[in-house]
């Protein structure tokens, strides 16, 4: 499947190059520290899926102005701001194989640079003079913070079900991808049904994207993941594979999983047992199937658009989410 | 001087009551925890100076719509969001005599509720359909986060001078008061010179307000302050009284102050010595004089407006800042 990745990257290379340049140009901090912290995390391996979705959505809707690359950085800044705050909230040590920002610059700078990026995002969006775009950003940001709080409250809660899980990942991941696609359509002054179709597209690939990410935490090699597998479970984050298995398990097996998960310090062999039980009850397969369904729904949303290079790219991007989280 | 406070409060009581109601109505969280944390800090003794400035500024410019109270809460939410993040950044224990939010709900919830309040603020401002108002908020938020970072970087730096200090308090305090006044004028569709006059008014009382606050840390009773005096110095925050004294002191006295301030753990007697030296070199008087100058400048800014009840109230509020930080 490596071919798909290379094919997509090839096709969007000029866009990605412009996005990279815009990410630096629009930061405009007064203090070098802000720039250091922001760039450390921003140029630490992100694939720019969010800016790219915005740019391609705008193009699909016929946009031919020159503010798309600038506006697109907003979706990376917001993403990075939440990474900074979330790593702190989660007490994470490693992100994409590197030490997290707060372990280098401390919690204070990390909190404040996150705030700065949120603020810069709104300032950049304001330049569009589009109230609907600003509105989407404001609501997305509010939803994302509430999503993180929701996840925090669910932490270690063995009663969490699939509905809770979907709600958490919707707020945590899908709503920003949705906002990126929606903003692209709005920037192009697209009719309501196109805006809605792209919002739905973004929502669905966002859900699939997070499901694929959560799967990786059980299935990936540490070298690919950039952190140890089982990190979610160790942080008390119950994701779909384990939620599904817990609900299907015999009372005895459920008890075994609960004992291991409830432990403050999950051992390597404990994690292996949980993984075996997840596989026994089909949690991995189930999660993969759900993700695939959302990808199919995402692609369906694009059917109202005429065939075009942008539409093909957005369809390919949807498939790519399943192959490997970007 | 108690008379002035009561007189002002009496005059603005109906406005304050509506602001209080709007603060609860517009929060609209999905999760009870968000409401608990936000209300804990929001209803812990704030005087609503920022919303009040916005409402009075709008009225001074002839506003007679019904969105002023709603928009005014934005300036309290932003204030509260920064308090949540700043207490965490500063490692503070006590605010207005109560334990700080992060000692009750933990750092994660505190970071995220702060983010939620920032996002809600922009969402509420967006309802005005006024790009200039949203723009001011976005830039103010960016400036405030950079101001906190600047303060963080200056911490314990004995080379900080009056210019650095003014820049820190401008970003940290004055720019939000300025934004509140400016937003009031913009909501009223006031002409540019009125918007500018109110911006300058807000800036000047903001600077005076923070200077008065910083003075309190050296001169107030603990019971009045709600926390121990000398807290700023213990956190390595050099404010104008000590900056001025350091610059005027003999080499020997400067050395004495530097030794005490440079200590990780400033003793009660050490603080007393610093306070005596600040008084010896006139740091208290100087700071009070600077604050008074800014109040006079603030009142001058209002001279372009016809005499009115709102103008009188804004003048009185300026005086009030010097009597006691609100």
Flag whether pLDDT at B265 surpasses 90.
Answer: no
| A159 Cβ contact partners less than 8 Å away, ≥ 6 residues apart | none
pLDDT at A326: 37
| Distance (Å, whole) CA B79 – CA B45 | 13
pLDDT of A82 above 60: yes
Instruction: Report the pLDDT value the prediction gives residue B302, as an integer from 0 to 100.
Output: 98
Answer whether A131 touches B (CB < 8 Å). Answer: yes
Q: How far apart are CA A5 and CA A36, in angstroms?
A: 30
Q: Is the pLDDT of residue B222 over 70?
A: no
Complex confidence, ipTM: 0.85
Within a 10 A sphere around the Cβ of A311, how many other Cβ atoms? Answer: 18
- Please, what is the angle between helix A192-219 and helix A309-323, to 10°? 20
Segment A248-293, tens digit of pLDDT: 999 999 999 999 998 878 888 899 999 999 999 999 999 999 999 9
Query: Average of pLDDT values for A54-67?
Result: 96
Residues from chain A that touch B135, judged by Cβ atoms under 8 A, are 123, 126
Which pLDDT band, with edges at 50, 70 and 90, does B326 fall under?
very low
Which are the contacts of B163, defined by CB distance < 8 A and separation ≥ 6? none
d(CA B42, CA B38): 6
Q: Which has more pLDDT, A104 or B189?
A: B189
Contacts of B127 (CB under 8 A, 6+ apart): B67, B70, B71
Topology given in CATH for the domain delimited by B2-323:
Farnesyl Diphosphate Synthase (1.10.600)
Interface test mutation site (partner A, options B119, B140, B141, B236, max chain A beta carbons within 10 A): B119
pLDDT band at A224 (very low <50, low <70, confident <90, very high): low
Q: Can you tell me the distance from the alpha carbon of B278 to that of B240, in angstroms, rounded to the nearest whole number?
A: 10
pLDDT digits (tens, 9 = 90+) for A151-207: 888 887 888 899 999 999 999 999 999 999 999 999 999 999 999 999 999 999 999
Residues 6+ apart with CB under 8 A from B251: none
**Residue B249 has what pLDDT?**
96
Residue A66 predicted with pLDDT over 50: yes
**Cβ-defined contact of B123 to A145 (cutoff 8 Å):** no
Q: What's the rounded Cα separation, in Å, for the pair B34 and B110? A: 9
Instruction: Report the pLDDT averaged over residues B283-292.
Output: 96
Confidence label for A212 from pLDDT (cuts 50, 70 and 90): very high
Q: Do A138 and B123 touch (CB under 8 A)?
A: yes
Q: How many CB pairs under 8 A join A and B?
A: 142
Mean local confidence (pLDDT), A126-152: 90
Q: Is 80 exceeded by the pLDDT of residue B250? A: yes
A204-230 average pLDDT score: 82
Q: Searching chain B, which residue's CA lies closest to the CA of residue A120? A: B142
- Taking contacts as CB-CB distances below 8 angstroms, the residues of chain B near A122 are 122, 134, 137-138, 141
Terminal C-alpha separation, chain A: 14
Q: What is the DSSP string of A53-89?
A: HHHHHHHHTT--SS-HHHHHHHHHHHHHHHHHHHHHH
Long-range CB contacts (within 8 A, 24+) of B83-86: B83/B41, B84/B37, B84/B41, B84/B110, B84/B111, B84/B113, B84/B114, B84/B117, B85/A111, B85/A112, B85/A115, B85/B110, B85/B111, B85/B114, B85/B148, B86/B148
- pLDDT over 80 (residue B247): yes
The tokens for A178 are 């949705």
Is the minimum CB–CB distance between B154 and chain A shorter than 8 Å? no
The structural domains of chain A, with segments of one domain joined by +, span 2-323
Token digits of residue A199? 């919002």
Terminal Cα distance for chain B, rounded: 14
Interchain pair B119, A85: CB under 8 A: no
- The pLDDT of residue A226 is 58
Pick among B37, B71, B121, B123 to test the A interface (most A CBs inside 10 A): B123
Q: Quick one: pLDDT at residue B40?
A: 84
Interchain contact B149–A (C-beta under 8 A):
yes
Q: What pLDDT shows up at residue A2?
A: 58
Q: Among residues of chain B, what percentage have pLDDT more than 90?
A: 62
Confidence of residue B149 (pLDDT cuts 50, 70, 90): confident
Mean pLDDT check: name the lowest of A59-68, B22-31, B147-156, B265-274.
B147-156
Residue of A89, A107, A123 with shortest CB distance to B139: A123
- Judging contacts by C-beta atoms under 8 Å, the chain B residues touching residue A35 are none
Residue B87 or residue B13, greater confidence:
B13
Percent of chain B with pLDDT over 70: 94
Average pLDDT over residues A28-37: 84
Q: How confident is the model at residue B235 (pLDDT cuts 50, 70, 90)?
A: confident
Q: Which of A224-228, A319-323, B47-51, B218-222 has the lowest mean pLDDT?
A: A224-228
Whole-angstrom Cα distance, residue B293 to residue B300?
11
Torsion of CA A12, A15, A17, A23, to 10 degrees: -130
Q: Return the pLDDT at A220.
A: 77
Say whether pLDDT at B225 is over 60.
no
> What integer pLDDT is reported at residue A11 of this predicted model?
87
Cα dist. B301→B133, B193, B197, B205, B322 in Å? 21, 10, 5, 11, 17
Per the CB < 8 A criterion, the answer to whether B70 and B50 are in contact is: no
- Work out the burial of residue A64: count CB atoms within 10 Å of its CB; fewer than 13 is exposed, 13-18 middle, 19 or more buried: exposed
Predicted confidence band at A133 (pLDDT cuts at 50, 70, 90)? very high
A112 closest CB neighbour out of B109, B118, B145? B145
Instruction: Tell me the pLDDT tens digit for each residue of B79-130.
Output: 999 888 887 776 677 776 777 777 777 777 888 889 999 999 999 999 999 9
What is residue B156's predicted lDDT score, i.e. its pLDDT? 78
**How confident is the model at residue A246, as a pLDDT?**
95
Distance CA A74, CA B137 (A): 16
- Torsion (CA) B241, B243, B247, B251 in degrees, nearest 10: 100
Q: Closest residue of A to B121, CA-based? A: A138
The torsion angles phi and psi of B98, rounded to 5 degrees, stand at -110, 155
Highest-confidence segment of A92-96, A230-234, A280-284, B81-85: A280-284
Question: What are the CA-CA distances from residue A54 to residues A182, A187, B276 (Å)?
Answer: 8, 9, 61
Range B206-227 average pLDDT: 82
Average pLDDT, chain A: 89
Secondary structure, 3-state, chain B? CHHHHHHHHHHHHHHHHHHHHHHHHCCCCCCHHHHHHHHHHHCCCCCCHHHHHHHHHHHHCCCCCCCHHHHHHHHHHHHHHHHHHHHHHHCCCEECCEECHHHHHHHHHHHHHHHHHHHHHHHHHHCCCCHHHHHHHHHHHHHHHHHHHHHHHHCCCCCCCHHHHHHHHHHHHHHHHHHHHHHHHHHCCCCHHHHHHHHHHHHHHHHHHHHHHHHHHHHCCHHHHCCCCCHHHHCCCCCHHHHHHHHHCCHHHHHHHHHHHHCCCCCHHHHHHHHHHHHHCCHHHHHHHHHHHHHHHHHHHHHHCCCCHHHHHHHHHHHHHHHCCC
């Amino acid at each position: 499947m490596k071919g798909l990745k290379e094919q997509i990257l090839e096709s969007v290379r000029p866009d990605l190059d412009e996005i990279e340049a815009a990410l630096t140009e629009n930061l405009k901090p007064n203090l070098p520290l802000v720039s250091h912290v922001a760039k450390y995390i921003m140029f630490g391996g992100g694939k720019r899926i969010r800016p790219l979705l915005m740019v391609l959505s705008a193009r699909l809707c016929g946009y031919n102005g020159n503010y798309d690359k600038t506006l697109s950085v907003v979706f990376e800044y917001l993403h990075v701001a939440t990474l900074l705050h979330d790593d702190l909230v989660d007490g994470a040590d490693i992100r994409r194989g590197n030490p997290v920002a707060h372990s280098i610059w401390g919690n204070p700078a990390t909190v404040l640079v996150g705030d700065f990026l949120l603020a810069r995002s709104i300032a950049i969006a304001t330049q569009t003079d589009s109230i609907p775009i600003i509105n989407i950003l404001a609501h997305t940001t509010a939803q994302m913070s509430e999503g993180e709080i929701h996840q925090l409250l669910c932490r270690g809660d063995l009663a969490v079900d699939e509905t809770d899980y979907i709600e958490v990942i919707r707020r945590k991941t899908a709503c920003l991808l949705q906002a990126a696609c929606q903003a692209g359509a709005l920037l192009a002054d697209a009719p309501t049904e196109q805006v809605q179709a792209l919002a739905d597209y973004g929502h669905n690939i966002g859900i699939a994207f997070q499901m694929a990410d959560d799967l990786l935490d059980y299935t990936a090699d540490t070298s690919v993941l950039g952190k140890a597998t089982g990190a979610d479970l160790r942080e008390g984050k119950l994701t779909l594979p384990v939620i599904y298995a817990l609900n299907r398990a015999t009372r005895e097996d459920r008890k075994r999983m609960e004992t291991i998960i409830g432990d403050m310090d999950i051992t390597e062999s404990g994690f292996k047992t949980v993984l075996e039980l997840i596989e026994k009850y089909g949690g991995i397969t189930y999660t993969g199937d759900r993700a695939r369904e959302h990808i199919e729904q995402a692609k369906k949303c694009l059917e109202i658009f005429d065939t075009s290079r942008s539409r093909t790219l957005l369809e390919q991007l949807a498939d790519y989410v399943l192959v490997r989280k970007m």
